[in-house]
Amino acid sequence: MKLGVYPGTFDPVTHGHTDIITRSLRVFDKVVVAVAPNPAKYPLFTLAERLDMVRLVMKDIDGVDVTSFEGLLVDYVERSGAHAIIRGLRAISDFEHEFQMALINRKLARNVETVFLMPSEEYSYLSSTIIKDVAKHGGSLTEFLHPEVARRLQERIRSVAL
């Protein structure tokens, strides 16, 4: 049973994340989506809200568990008995940061591998940050987000602007 952990902030979950999860299920028997609190990124949604949206989007996909974790990712990965960390690689801009994190994580835990997956081209420019910007300026979200996630994002942006 090959278990992979897909960590992230998921503020909010996009079709880019879903694409990576679907691809990772071709490599792993089971994938745990691990939502990080990440207060340093000042998320727009609380941890509970982000978890709820990932659960909603993943509800019909078999082999996916959704949870949150605190502290060092590699500690969580070792505790959960997972075989690898899954990360998505978009354009070249992701590479340096991801490379650095993978090597640090390898130093911290020799037996934990990081596996990178590339999304479909149509999502390779997509990020939660850009999506929040599109939402702020009233752009259409239908191609990038689950409809309920889009609705919650628009509602949150409106209430923050008030």
Query: Which residues are marked as active site?
Result: 17, 41, 90, 128
6 touches 34 (CB < 8 A): yes
Which of 4, 5, 17, 54 binds ligand ADP (CB under 6 A)? It is 17
Stretch that binds ligand ADP, among 11-19, 25-33, 62-70, 153-161 (CB under 6 A): 11-19
Q: By CB under 6 A, is residue 149 in contact with ligand ADP? A: no
Q: By CB under 6 A, is residue 94 in contact with ligand ADP? A: yes
Please, which residue, 2 or 95, has the CB nearer to ligand ADP?
95
Structure tokens at 5: 């952990």
Helix (H) or strand (E) holding 155: helix 147-161
Which of 28, 45, 76, 123 binds ligand ADP (CB under 6 A)? It is 123
The rounded distance, in Å, linking the Cα atoms of 95 and 3 is 24
The rounded distance, in Å, linking the Cα atoms of 54 and 78 is 23
